[in-house]
Structure 1
Amino acid sequence: MPMSWYALPYMYAKDDNVVSIHEERPTVQMYGRLLKLASMVLAEKEFKQDSLNFWNEPYHQASKWKPCADKKYRTTPGKPDKSNGYIMVSANGGLNQQRVAICNAVAVASLLNATLVLPKFLYSNVWKDPSQFGDIYQEDYFMRILKDDIDIVKELPPHLKPLDIEAMGTLITDADIVKEAKPDDYITSVLPLLLQNRVVHFLGFGNRLGFDPLPPHLQRLRCKCNFHALKFVLKIQKVGSLLIKRIKKYYAAPRQLDKQLLGDFAPGISPKQHNIASGPSRYLALHLRFEEDMVAYSLCDFGGGDYEKKELEAYRDVHFPLLIERLKNSKPVSPVELRKLGRCPLTPEEAALVLAALGFKPETFIYLAGSHIYGGSSRMQPFTSLYPNLVTKETLLTSSELAPFKNFSSQLAALDFIACATSDVFAMTDSGSQLSSLVSGFRTYYGDGHAPTLRPNKKRLAAILSENRTIGWNTFEDRVRKMIEEGQRVQLRGSGRSIYRQPRCPECMCRS
């Protein structure tokens, strides 16, 4: 059997995905009283029926929305007879930021009547991953799905390769385009360069196209790219499927969600003799954003004392010099005030209390995405004391199975993406995270109203937890459950909101 998190020593190694052992730290608890109450209540409920079922979507309207971004419309202009030139994109960031850049590049290529060169990925000193498009996504499939919308080539034609793009003035960095740029920004500033030089190169390009206003056909094309054209390579699909099989001992018929992410490797219906095997038929996936960079940048206090404060200060000095300069010239906001404003990442302890308030039982199997938690087991102990069945890709897969992914953080992130998106329930602690946003959007798009996502409101949760010394467990439960249920309401994408995270809109989904 694979080893669960709590059986491992303190793990920490963000940059190279190699697990190293550090000296054990004392356990940090901020809500000892609530943890004791949670432990007692969960022990009482362990053998009882679920009173509230957060394994299911609470609103039946969710099942009325169906995927249809790949549907052909008569109003869609289609490809022009003649291309205005070539668009190159070198996307920065990790897996999820690059995914957004790809979909935005597809939309801009269509807007400018241009041919898209298959995007490249910049090497980052943070992620240290040399992976390129074809290492993560199926190139030919991507080009085939989008062939009726834009022309895509794998490289520039020979006569354009020798050009010095930077000297020509057609290298466009993020400093040259505002965040959430509008189509007119591209028409006025980029199209003339494209027509003159036949090629432009976008360097960076993570969030350089706004969500509104945008013509419906371009919005639909972004959805088609994200939800249909970007399919993981077979190597990732195969090991992603293995992850799911290691967690779940019983499978129903594959869902549309499973097929889209796992292709031919989607688990089939288990043989009858395996249905009674030990292990769960369902699991919860948790994206816990409590890595050192997130914790340090937040400027919050997490109860770790002077040692923790000095450690985080030292990290900021090295990794966030611009933040340090800004702090010198601004009025400081106290850690207490930051927490009240909902700006502090949730600790593992806080995440466990939320799950306990929602009634998830101690035997619940939980897949933890990422696994490089700041503080290691000193921080995870309060979580695993309530939920011991905690697993990661590192504990579910053997070293030989993980070997092809070693030093490829984006490919490892793709495994987390699959495990989170195909889970029975997905819980996030930071709705602003790219992984959480894209996973929740995938579950909305392909989940058919049967893929619940749990989103805590950090500001409201901070107010609830501020009463930790006096609040009764029943009151705590009631307020947390109302908070989560409100976050699950079925609503149309709001103006300016990410279509990748909230695809319920006419350009992306159809309402039956």
Structure 2
Amino acid sequence: MQINRAKSKKSNSNPVLPSSVKMRNSRVSSKKPSLLTRTLYLILLFAVSIFIFLMFSKDIFEDEQTPIFYSDSESDSHLHHQSEQIRSPAHFVDEQSPASTFSRGLRPCIKPTAKYKVARESNRYLTVKSNGGLNQMRTGIADMVAVARVMNATLVIPNLDKRSFWQDSSVFGDIFDELHFMRSLQQDVRIVKELPRLLETVPRARKHFGSWSGMNYYENMTHLWKEYQVIHVPKSDSRLANNDLPLDIQRLRCRALYHALRFSPPIELLGKRLVERLRSRGGQYIALHLRYEKDMLAFTGCTYGLSDAESEELRIMRESTHHWKIKKINSTEQRNAGLCPLTPREVGIFIKALGYPPSMLIYIAAGEIYGGARRLSELTLRFPNVVFKETLATQDELKAFSHHATQTAAIDYIISVESDVFISSHSGNMARAVEGHRRFLEHRKTITPDRKSLIEVFDKLDSGQLEEGPSVSNIVKKMHRNRQGYPRKRSGPPLGIKGRARFRYEESFYQNPYPECICKSQDHL
């Protein structure tokens, strides 16, 4: 009996399975992956993950733009090949999409070529007085950085113009981050805060460098070092040619303007804070450089729509300003030629015709509008959501910048560059500088009014031949189809202009730094 129970237990612990069950278990066992198979699968999965990571991180690394010394090389022929691929836009981007850009794969490229060498120590010094308003001084300083490089000179921090129309007493460090300026260009040119004491009393060569001069000119100017250790430059504006300069010099100009000449921390802080406040109000905004200021109207001699008393006031101002060469101006001829800034009313008609709704937030980047609120109402009638820095910032925030027009202009500049759309009612240093900066930053939408053609539209509206509405909108949109900041090569002088006069009429390098400082990234080739 005991033996039988033991046999029974042994039988239960090893049951005999049916043949069909054995076959199923055999098939399942054969499908189970081996250790080698699982290892290979994990390796393959890891490799695919690494590949995907590298593909995405490539764009991130290429997007970094830092103001440091580079060693990569990009040849002139390569840039020329890329620039020829960009033509006028294939289609018209919707005017009601303010955030539109026209980058088309183009990005800033300011790296020196392989042959570019680190700046050498120099005991020759270049002192500079930067003349004009904010943007005239900024571009002039960038030119002087390049000139110092060509002449192998140490650049002394420039003195700023204190005798311009606005009588601003600001020094370099009030407007720009002086330490950042010196450090970010240390591989390009040696920069010092002031002239060494031993050289303060030595004779200096006072030299008015020729306007729009090229490499040969400045290479020849090095003969001055034989007699002088210090060269003083009384004017810095437009000292370099727009075209036909070495690629490395052009890119140095861009590094100086777009990276080294950063505004001082207080200006940067308030500018960015006001941009955030604009974004919080509506998300998108237009920056309008409304050049309807007293000095601008007096300088251009434009009196359309003004009273006789206002016209006389501007005439007296123009004739009493000694450095304005033209005294007698025919206002009607100026306007018909498209040389007058658009009035607030005309700007309102223009922006409305482009398709922007009345609720669009518009930031006025300008000084005091001539005629005050009465004249400005001709714009706010169509676009009531208009703001100035004085209405965005508190009195305490603006207190530090009061009586310093150049510093408040820098705040306007920051807000204009960061806007979804930039429009200027007249060409000028500010308009050209902002346009060039926005082109540099992947061609942000910048609408340039065709003032000469628009005058015909405005006159027909005044005479009753046209009415505001779809017909005018279609005319204005078609007129500005290709005036929105799309990529294009910098323009040369108009046909028929020869000799040195042609340099004056070339498109400014700082208005359009393409193709030298703008090119396609490798992942778009």
TM-score (norm 2): 0.75
**Residue 485 of structure 1: CA displacement?**
2.2
Q: Structure 1 residue aligned with 2:219, among 183, 187, 190?
A: 187
Higher mean displacement: 309-318 or 378-387: 309-318
Q: Structure 2 residue aligned with 1:102, among 127, 130, 141?
A: 141
1:455 corresponds to: 448
| Paired residues for 1:294-313 under 5 Å | 294-313=296-315
2:215, 2:245 within 8 Å by CA — same for their partners in 1?
Answer: yes
Q: Structure 2 residue aligned with 1:65, among 102, 106, 122?
A: 106
Q: Structure 2 residue aligned with 1:157, among 181, 186, 196?
A: 196
2:108, 2:517 within 8 Å by CA — same for their partners in 1?
Answer: no
| Paired residues for 1:211-226 under 5 Å | 211-226=242-257
Report the AA paired with residue 113 of structure 2: Y
Does the alignment pair 1:55 with 2:94? no
Distance in 1 separating the partners of 2:95 and 2:249: 41
1:24 corresponds to: none
2:352 corresponds to: 356
Distance in 1 separating the partners of 2:408 and 2:271: 10
Does the alignment pair 1:78 with 2:78? no
**Alpha-carbon displacement from aligned partner over 1:229-265 (angstroms, at most 9, x marks no partner):** 111121111111221122221xxxxxxxxxxxxxxxx
Report the AA paired with residue 150 of structure 1: V
Does the alignment pair 1:466 with 2:456? no
**Residue 88 of structure 1: CA displacement?**
0.9
Does the alignment pair 1:342 with 2:338? yes
1:445, 1:509 within 8 Å by CA — same for their partners in 2?
Answer: no
1:142 corresponds to: 181
2:125, 2:195 within 8 Å by CA — same for their partners in 1?
Answer: yes
Q: Structure 2 residue aligned with 1:390, among 347, 364, 386?
A: 386
**Residue 320 of structure 1: CA displacement?**
5.2
**Residue 224 of structure 1: CA displacement?**
0.9
Q: Secondary structure at the match of 2:155?
A: strand
Distance in 2 separating the partners of 1:476 and 1:156: 60
**Residue 299 of structure 1: CA displacement?**
2.3
Distance in 2 separating the partners of 1:215 and 1:481: 39
**Residue 502 of structure 1: CA displacement?**
0.6
1:345, 1:429 within 8 Å by CA — same for their partners in 2?
Answer: yes
| Paired residues for 1:52-451 under 5 Å | 52-57=95-100, 59=102, 62-69=103-110, 71-80=111-120, 82-83=121-122, 85-165=124-204, 170-172=205-207, 176-188=208-220, 190-249=221-280, 279-319=281-321, 323=325, 327=328, 334-431=330-427, 433-446=428-441, 448-449=442-443, 451=444
Distance in 1 separating the partners of 2:481 and 2:389: 29
**Residue 398 of structure 1: CA displacement?**
1.4
**Residue 186 of structure 1: CA displacement?**
2.4
With a CA cutoff of 8 Å and minimum separation of 6, indicate the structure with the bigger relative contact order: 1
**Alpha-carbon displacement from aligned partner over 1:390-425 (angstroms, at most 9, x marks no partner):** 111111111111111111111111110111111111
2:435, 2:511 within 8 Å by CA — same for their partners in 1?
Answer: yes
Higher mean displacement: 382-391 or 148-157: 148-157
Distance in 2 separating the partners of 1:112 and 1:211: 18
1:252 corresponds to: none
Total equivalences in the alignment: 413
Q: Secondary structure at the match of 1:63?
A: coil
Specify the structure having the higher radius of gyration (Cα). 2
Q: Secondary structure at the match of 2:267?
A: helix
Change (3 A) 1:125 1:225: closer
**Residue 509 of structure 1: CA displacement?**
4.0
Q: Secondary structure at the match of 2:304?
A: coil
Distance in 2 separating the partners of 1:52 and 1:141: 38
1:371, 1:392 within 8 Å by CA — same for their partners in 2?
Answer: no
1:491 corresponds to: 488
Distance in 2 separating the partners of 1:298 and 1:241: 33
Report the AA paired with residue 205 of structure 1: S
2:72 corresponds to: none
Q: Secondary structure at the match of 1:498?
A: coil
Report the AA paired with residue 321 of structure 2: H
Report the AA paired with residue 369 of structure 1: A
Q: Percent identity?
A: 34
Q: Secondary structure at the match of 1:79?
A: coil
1:95, 1:413 within 8 Å by CA — same for their partners in 2?
Answer: yes
**Residue 107 of structure 1: CA displacement?**
0.5
Report the AA paired with residue 503 of structure 1: P
1:369, 1:392 within 8 Å by CA — same for their partners in 2?
Answer: yes
2:154, 2:192 within 8 Å by CA — same for their partners in 1?
Answer: yes
**Alpha-carbon displacement from aligned partner over 1:19-47 (angstroms, at most 9, x marks no partner):** xxxxxxxxxxxxxxxxxxxxxxxxxxxxx
Distance in 2 separating the partners of 1:65 and 1:336: 42
1:54, 1:452 within 8 Å by CA — same for their partners in 2?
Answer: no
Q: Structure 1 residue aligned with 2:510, among 490, 494, 500?
A: 500
Q: Secondary structure at the match of 1:387?
A: coil
Does the alignment pair 1:481 with 2:477? yes
**Residue 315 of structure 1: CA displacement?**
2.0
Change (3 A) 1:389 1:311: same
**Residue 323 of structure 1: CA displacement?**
4.2
1:54, 1:358 within 8 Å by CA — same for their partners in 2?
Answer: no
Report the AA paired with residue 167 of structure 2: K
Distance in 2 separating the partners of 1:290 and 1:474: 28
Q: Secondary structure at the match of 2:251?
A: helix
Report the AA paired with residue 55 of structure 1: P
Distance in 1 separating the partners of 2:520 and 2:261: 21
Distance in 1 separating the partners of 2:169 and 2:226: 32
Distance in 2 separating the partners of 1:54 and 1:454: 13
Point out where structure 1 has 5 or more consecutive residues left out of the alignment. Answer: 1-49, 250-278
Change (3 A) 1:235 1:348: same
**Residue 322 of structure 1: CA displacement?**
5.3
**Residue 221 of structure 1: CA displacement?**
0.5
Q: Secondary structure at the match of 2:513?
A: coil
Change (3 A) 1:417 1:75: same
Q: Give the aligned CA root-mean-square deviation in angstroms.
A: 2.1
1:340, 1:459 within 8 Å by CA — same for their partners in 2?
Answer: yes
Q: Secondary structure at the match of 2:288?
A: strand
Distance in 2 separating the partners of 1:470 and 1:343: 24
Distance in 1 separating the partners of 2:393 and 2:470: 39
**Alpha-carbon displacement from aligned partner over 1:96-154 (angstroms, at most 9, x marks no partner):** 11101110000100111111111121311522211111111112211221111111111
Distance in 2 separating the partners of 1:206 and 1:186: 15
Change (3 A) 1:51 1:79: closer
Point out where structure 2 has 5 or more consecutive residues left out of the alignment. Answer: 1-92, 493-505
Change (3 A) 1:149 1:245: same
